[in-house]
Homo-oligomer: A and B are copies of this chain.
Amino acid sequence: MTKKDLTDCYNRIAPYIHNTPVLTSSLVNQAVGANVYFKCENFQKTGAYKMRGATNAILQLTEEQRSKGVVTHSSGNFAQALSKAAQNLNVKATIVMPSNSPIAKKNGVVTYGGTILECEPTIEARQGLADKIVAKTGATFIHPSNDINVILGQGTACYELLKEYPDLEIVACPVGGGGLIAGSVLAAKYLSDDCKVIGGEPFEADDAYRSLISGQIETNDTANTIADGLRTQLGHHNFPIIKNHVDRIIRVTEEEIIEAMRFIWERMKIIIEPSSAVTFAAVLKDKAQLKGQKIGIIISGGNVDVNNLPFNI
- Once the chains are docked, how many angstroms separate the CA of A309 from the CA of B265? 13
- Once the chains are docked, how many angstroms separate the CA of A163 from the CA of B116? 47
Q: Is the CB of B302 within 8 A of A269?
A: yes
A62, CB-defined interface residue at 8 Å:
no
How many monomers of this chain does the complex have?
2
Q: Is the CB of B265 within 8 A of A306?
A: yes
How many Å from the CB of A271 to the closest CB on chain B?
Answer: 4
How many Å from the CB of A250 to the closest CB on chain B?
Answer: 25
Complex interface bits, A272-313 against B, C-beta within 8 A gives 1, otherwise 0: 100000000000000000000000000000100011110110
Q: Is the CB of A306 within 8 A of B309?
A: yes
Given contacts A265-B271, A269-B43, A271-B271, whether A308 and B302 have CB atoms under 8 Å apart is: no
Given contacts A269-B271, A271-B271, whether A307 and B302 have CB atoms under 8 Å apart is: no
How many Å from the CB of A261 to the closest CB on chain B?
Answer: 9
A153, CB-defined interface residue at 8 Å:
no
Contacts A306-B309, A308-B312 known; list 14 others, CB within 8 Å: A21-B21, A43-B268, A43-B269, A47-B269, A265-B306, A269-B271, A269-B302, A270-B270, A270-B271, A271-B271, A306-B311, A309-B309, A309-B311, A309-B312
